[in-house]
Chains A and B, each alone.
Chain A
Amino acid sequence: MQWWSWIVLAVAVVVLVVVAVVAVQSRRRRGGVIVDPAGRARGRTGGSA
């Protein structure tokens, strides 16, 4: 392999790693709405399920 092909390969690996890290962290940051079964009501009245 030519010397410059190693540089191209190294840059490609770095780019792939950065893209993968950003994708994983983006997925971990993705939110939702969590129901807490142990959560307390705050003085609510009336109604029934």
Chain B
Amino acid sequence: MRLMRASEIVKRPVVTMRGEDVAQVKDIVYAAAGGAVAGFTLAGRGMFAGPLKLGLTWRAVAALGAEAVMITDESVFEPTEAVLSDAASGRAGGNVLGSQVLTDAGVDLGKVIDVIVAVGDTVGGQCDVVGYEIEASAALGTKGTKLLIPLPDTIAASASHLVVPASAQGFVAHDLAGFGAAVLAFRAQLEGGG
């Protein structure tokens, strides 16, 4: 299981197995229920290209490498709506970057500046949102610093507010190196206490 920031995936080129650079990642779309990454919206390549009306579902990704997202060929692209579902209709979804993170006790922990994604090592393995990188508020005692906060299996999220259990404050990390263990410990604590 690899951990990476969403900002590392955004703008990454989408390359076919024939070596064609056909698009780049625009948005990462994940499910509020469970945090599973549904896929990516796409933008064209080149200075004059804009967003595409095509998306890439996670199950169509052959590999998510350090330099590129690999796909078999362009036939795996689907209409953007297939990736976005109701988020596209603007019902309650939206970009979480800049959203406020609240505990279930109503404490403001800070604002989301990035999202941490766990990617399975096997092809077709799961890809899940497991944490947020936040700019800490005064409630965490280190206002303005960047912290990683783990998420439970079940995420309460809308575009404006993201709610985490208050106990998540005890599992914050400062870098990705120790964050995987923090996520596991946090989830184990929730299962033990729940």
Residues of A within 8 A of B (CB): 21-22, 25-26, 28-42, 44-49
User: What 1/0 mask marks residues of chain B from 159 to 188 whose CB sits below 8 Å from any chain A CB?
Assistant: 100011100000000000000000000010
* CB–CB A49/B93 < 8 A: no
Distance in Å: Cβ of A31 to nearest Cβ of chain B = 4
* CB–CB B87/A35 < 8 A: yes
Distance in Å: Cβ of A10 to nearest Cβ of chain B = 20
* CB–CB B6/A21 < 8 A: no
Distance in Å: Cβ of B84 to nearest Cβ of chain A = 6
Contact of A31 among B27, B32, B126, B190 (CB under 8 A): B27
Top 3 closest A-B pairs, CB basis?
A39-B31, A41-B34, A47-B153
B50 at the A/B interface (Cβ < 8 Å)? yes
* CB–CB A39/B96 < 8 A: no
Contact of A37 among B32, B49, B129 (CB under 8 A): B32
Listed residue (A28, A33, A41) with the most chain B CB atoms within 10 angstroms of its CB: A33
**Residues of B with C-beta under 8 A to A44:** 34-36, 128, 153-154
